[in-house]
Amino acid sequence: ERAHHYASLQLAGDSTNNEYLARIGQLQNLLTKIGETAAFVVPEILAIDDKQFGQFIADPALADWRIKLHKIRRMKPHVLSEPEERILALGSVALSGYDDTFLQLTDVDMKFGLLIDETGREKPLTQSSFSSFLVKRDPELRKSVFHQFYAEFRDHQFTLAASLAYSVKVDVFHARARRYSSALEAALFPDDVPIAVYDGLIKSVRANLEPLFRYFDLRRRTLGLRELHLYDTYVPLVPEVETRFTFDQAVEAVLAALAPLGKDYVDVLAEGLRSRRWCDRYENKAKRSGAFSSASYGAPPYILMNYKDDVFADVYTLAHEAGHSMHSWFSQNSQLFQDYEYPIFLAEVASTFNEELLTHHLLETTADPKMRAYIINRQIDDLRGTLFRQTMFAEFEKIIHAIEESGDALTLDIFKSEYHKLLETYFAENFVLDLELDLECLRIPHFYHAFYVYKYATGISAAVALLERVLSGEPGSVDAYLNFLRSGGSKFPLETLKAAGVDMATPAPIESALRLFERRVTELESLLL
């Protein structure tokens, strides 16, 4: 693990470094051989009868492996006979790759053309530049970009629909082959998340759409538009404030924001960012774009950034990635190797918690109405994209898998029709749903990794609920949060969060996030109207 971690970080710093590219290839081959050599382990564990397994678990010599063994053992009802498993393994390559087809088509083959930007310069329109054009102040430019972009999707809509349909078929095939009641159950089972949690998320969000509609109306009025389109929902309502944070200033702001978590947390992070070189800070030639936190057991939780002093969002990115790194640090220092890695369900909780704490700190220390409006608008848009939008996506995934499971065919018309119904539900009456918007369901990469996106919505909800406990001064809430970080992968996600004071089996955490959204919309209305 550490060797792969080292090589991948070196390659992220310089993608042209063929030495580390070759080393990663060697490591992947080695891991494949290790996997083949150890392939007998899980089947043998599953073959042990219940009585003997109970005796093994009670043996003090296996105490360190009890959690891991229980996680393996609970998969027993869904593991097939050896010949059947061999057939599935042989077919794994043939039954995958639809996401690769999608990415090759949308990132390589599809050409979105050129357009004239607000400065009069000709610029290429691409998948990556699309969102950057939607934040421009010129409404005609946004409109032109939207229609030009989706024209290319319209030209490939039948191919994209066929690709997504077969991806859903494969999900259903695997679920049935492994004796799950549905593809949704198969996706939730590894994390021990009941389907009721998934359905409860959708139910709670659907019941609280009015504040979202108010926000859309606030957008329309603030931007001076007669009607609102999707391409009008990304431009900031408050033009970006003139704020510059050097990296060192960003570190100080983040550390100040995280002070409620206590001296131990802040001191470790401060040392990591200031003197232990946890963060590769700035853009460089051939360096990987974006940002991430990456950890391996026994090694520092490094952060890669492409920090820019004049990009306010980068301060939030630092807080976000620091959340991941501190989650890894606490977990590594509390758990054994086999239990330290936390699941995706929990990963975004710690990072989002830090972002929300940074927002709280900035609002507490900022009196300027323009700056406050800018920060609140940013938080609202984060909640809108993470809570409302991802829940709509989650509902769409459930619908299309249920259609496939019922025996009906998934066609382009079905995809567009079902997605349009959701658009009508999740957007206000004075929101114009352009015909091209029905094609949005064909351009979401996460749909090729079924039932993943709901974790974004539950993650931000859990983070908000945990933060409310900390900021209210609830006794024991800080220790409970730090113990959540320490837990790593030693328990299932819902159990870990419940121990921290947040019960995701109830609607309470989702409702906390929805109430925060409504409060922020009310505040922004008072600042802008």
Q: What residues are annotated to the active site?
A: 321
Cα 451 to chain center, whole Å? 12
Strands 228-229 and 122-124 come out as unpaired
Token pair belonging to 100:
């690769």
> Beta partners for 294?
302
Q: What are phi and psi of 462, to 5 degrees?
A: -65, -40
Candidates 290, 126, 150; CA nearest to 231 is: 150
Residues 6+ apart with CB under 8 A from 308: 283, 314
> Beta partners for 476?
none
185 in Cβ contact with 195 (< 8 Å): yes
500 in Cβ contact with 466 (< 8 Å): yes
CB atoms within 10 A of CB 102: 21
DSSP state of 301: -
Burial of 503 (0-12, 13-18, 19+ CB in 10 A): middle
d(CA 110, CA 355): 35
Token pair belonging to 490:
């030693």
Burial of 223 (0-12, 13-18, 19+ CB in 10 A): middle
- Give the H or E element holding residue 338: helix 337-340
d(CA 26, CA 321): 29
First to last CA, the chain: 54
Candidates 374, 310, 344, 523; CA nearest to 449 is: 344
Token pair belonging to 186:
């198969």
Q: Residue by residue, what is the 3-state secondary structure of 182-227?
A: CHHHHHHHHHCCCHHHHHHHHHHHHCCCHHHHHHHHHHHHHCCCCC
d(CA 507, CA 208): 12
Token pair belonging to 457:
């919505």
Strand arrangement of the beta sheet that strand 302-304 belongs to: 279-280, 302-304, 292-294
